[in-house]
Structure 1
Amino acid sequence: MEGTKAVVAMVVVQVVFAGVSIFYKLALNDGMDSRILIAYRYLFATAFLAPLAFFLERMSRPKMTWKVLMLVFFSGFFGGTLSQNLYLSSIRLTSATFPSAMTNLIPSMTFILAIIFRLESLEIGSISGRAKIFGTLTSVGGAMLLTFYKGVAIAIWPTHIHLLDSRHNAVSQGSSDHVMGSILAIMSCLSSAIWFIIQEKISKEYPCHYSSTALLCLMAAAQSVAYALCVERNMSNWKIGFDVRFLAVAYSGVVASGLILTVMSWCIKKKGPLFASAFYPLLLVIVALLSSLLLDEKLHLGSVLGSALIMVGLFVVLWGKWRGSQASNTTGFQEEKKQIIHLGGEWEHRSMPPK
């Protein structure tokens, strides 16, 4: 039941993150500066989470140490400030959907980092180890197929909904620097993978999900505001009304950063960083469906084939993770059984009367 909760939670996480991608597209299309968007996102998240964490965990919160404070600082930097600014910079240089496709590199990067930091065992000789490697490569292959191969258009539903306004298109795709945009997207994925590793350590040192996420958002807010003020000092650009810009920062801040990061922290503590990152391939599938439904973007054959490979890879990785945990539990049970038999034999030998 615990494993089912984690799976459902991570699927919800990807659905919410897909909504963030849609709101990002709409806000950038409206002309909002990406750095200001990120700054407002974490300001909203901090304002929402700080009182919640204070009241819910005021009795169970452990003592803050310098080690935890430094971990939270780097967690906010890699998981918030750096990854999100690189992500939106890649959108400006390439297209709105390209960085979403590149996020499928996060599971493989997290897998490699988890092996380096000994959070995961490779175990090439075992079935579970080979399943993890094969599933990761399959998901990455499906993402690359979805990205670079379009194929024929497939009309699923004629919604006639097109939320993007071409008159205020802030993303110039005609003169994009795809090389630099690709590098920025890869760096964003690497930053997110590093965040998964740091979050694993935070969950052990400071096991209060609301408080740690509130501190993460606070650090990211301070860093993002400082960076945005350095590059954008025109205060008129910081004004937002009750429009798509406000909806974008409120949704991404309160829902995505405030609630969903807390859920991700819980999943990482329960199942590890590889399990949580393995669900990122779902993001591109959901974004493709929402873009087709809300932004009048047509699905193509490459999207369908790539999505199928992504789902197969995700299933294989989760199966390998489950098989490895089952084998570990079986081994531990056998060792415990041998120890009990050994102790029982010694007790029986000592309790026998001398001849």
Structure 2
Amino acid sequence: MGRIANIFHSIKPPLLMVLVQIIFAGINVMYKLAANDGMSLRVIVVYTLMFATVIMVLLALIFERKSLKKVNRKVLLQAFLCGLFRGSLVQNLYLQSLVHTSATFAVAMVNLAPAFTFVLAICFKMEKLVIRTNAGKAKVCGTLIGISGAMVFTFYKGIDVNLLKHHDHQQVGHGPSYHGTGHFTIGAFFGLLSCVSFSLWLINHVKMSVGFPYLYSSTALICLIGSIQGALFAVHTVRDWNQWKLGSNVRLLVVVFVVC
């Protein structure tokens, strides 16, 4: 495990960022494959959070066992909010956007997260808008350009690329996904909400990290609480228990790929 950590530390930050983006792109393609195969995306959220919880709890017990003594009500409340905004809520909104639009569009909408984070940080008085300085002007211009680009992208649908040719499967109980005007608009709206949720997580996670600076333990708490929230929502909305069966198909591959 130490060798793996040394390998990641030896990678330069720009290359590491590129690697993360490549993995993120692969995850979106896998999500789309599972959606086209008819798997409920709510179930995917639960499985990924549950498996992530197991992994992060093991890491927390190995490296940060002493951090358990510092868990209090404030930390649990912050973990609950982080689990909601970054775990169950943002993933369900994002995956619904992925269903109604496309993997390319959903990823493009994620670029709005910095703009929403900047606006919300100003609202929560965590950031000062100094418009007269060059830095302040750059932030405002970047925010406006990001939001404008997303709005333009909403009206540009592009060409459909079918990853799977399964026409008999139903998509999350609502029929196959397609890019009709109504569905695409709904998908864009879900994408915007997921960005807002992600931004709220960033703001709340900053405060949590100040009072509870334990990476593995905080992530384990967030995944645990998020998996519970996602499971309650999925059990209430997904009535077909066959959706919970992974099997040796693309569904199991998606869950394993996302968790790894």
**TM-score, normalized by length of structure 2?**
0.83
The alpha carbon displacement at 1:141 in A equals 3.6
> Aligned pair in 2 of structure 1 residues 10, 167: CA closer, same or farther (>3 Å)?
same
| Residues 1:76 and 2:47 aligned together | no
- Cα distance, 1:211 vs. partner? 0.6
User: Are positions 1:118 and 2:125 aligned together?
Assistant: yes
State the Cα distance separating 1:98 from its structure 2 match.
3.0
Specify which of 218, 228, 232 is matched with residue 226 of structure 1: 232
Preserved CA contact (<8 Å) 2:157 2:179:
no
Conservation of the 8 A alpha-carbon contact between 1:61 and 1:208: no
Report the equivalent of 2:163.
164
2:223 to 193, 217, 230: 217
Residue in 2 aligned with 1:92?
A: 99
**Aligned in 2, Cα 1:7/1:202: closer, same or farther, shift over 3 Å?**
farther
**Residues 237-256 of structure 1 mapped to structure 2, 5 A cutoff:** 237-252=243-258, 254-255=259-260
What is the alpha-carbon distance in structure 2 between the residues aligned to residue 206 and residue 55 of structure 1?
17
2:178 corresponds to 1:173: yes
Aligned to 2:51: 44
Question: Which secondary structure state, in structure 1, belongs to the residue aligned with residue 166 of structure 2?
Answer: helix
1:26 maps to 33
- In structure 2, stretches of 5+ residues that fail to align are 1-8
- The one-letter code matched in structure 2 to 1:87 is Y
Residue of structure 1 equivalent to 2:214: 208
Query: 1-side partners of 2:126 and 2:30: how far apart?
Result: 34
5+ residue gaps, structure 1: 154-161, 256-355
Asked whether the 8 Å contact 1:102–1:186 carries over to 2, the reply is yes
| 1:1-57, Cα deviation, whole Å (9 max, x unpaired) | x9x966555444333222211110111111111111111110111111111111111
The amino acid of 2:191's aligned partner reads A
What does residue 182 of structure 1 align with?
188
Task: Report how far residue 91 of structure 1 moved.
Answer: 2.8
Deviation at 1:229, TM superposition (A): 0.8
Amino acid at match of 2:164: D
The aligned residue for residue 191 of structure 1 is 197
Once superposed, what is the RMSD of the aligned Cα atoms?
Answer: 2.6
Aligned counterpart, 1:293: none
**The structure with more radius of gyration:** 1
Contact 2:115–2:142, Cα closer than 8 Å, also in 1: no
Assess if the C-alpha contact under 8 Å between 1:109 and 1:193 holds in 2.
yes
1:257-336 → structure 2 map (5 Å cutoff) = none
1-structure distance, mates of 2:69, 2:117:
28
Q: Which residue of 2 aligns with 1:332?
A: none
Q: Which residue of 2 aligns with 1:274?
A: none
Question: Do the aligned partners of 1:62 and 1:206 also contact (CA within 8 Å) in 2?
Answer: no
Pair 1:62–1:165, CA change in 2 (3 A)? same
TM superposition shift of 1:61: 5.5
- The answer as to whether partners of 1:90 and 1:99 remain within 8 angstroms in 2 is yes
The secondary structure found in structure 2 opposite 1:207 is coil
For residues 212 and 237 of structure 1, what CA distance do their matches in structure 2 show?
A: 30
Provide Cα deviations, 1:301-355, integer angstroms capped at 9, x if missing partner: xxxxxxxxxxxxxxxxxxxxxxxxxxxxxxxxxxxxxxxxxxxxxxxxxxxxxxx
How far 1:223 sits from its partner (Å)? 0.8
Task: Decide whether the 8 Å contact of 1:81 with 1:220 is kept in 2.
Answer: yes
Q: Is the 8 A contact 1:26 1:163 kept in 2?
A: no
The sequence identity of aligned pairs, in percent, is 43
Measure the CA separation in 2 of the matches of 1:188 and 1:70. 21
Shift of 1:142: 3.8
SS at match of 2:114: helix
- Partner letter of residue 230 of structure 2? S
Contact in 2 for aligned 1:95/1:173 (Cα 8 Å): no
TM-superposed deviation, 1:90: 2.4
CA distance in 1, matches of 2:117, 2:250: 33
Sort the Cα spacing of 1:150 and 1:74 in 2 relative to 1 into closer, same or farther, 3 A.
closer
Query: How far, CA to CA, are the matches of 1:73 and 1:9 in structure 2?
Result: 29
Matched, 1:133 2:143: no
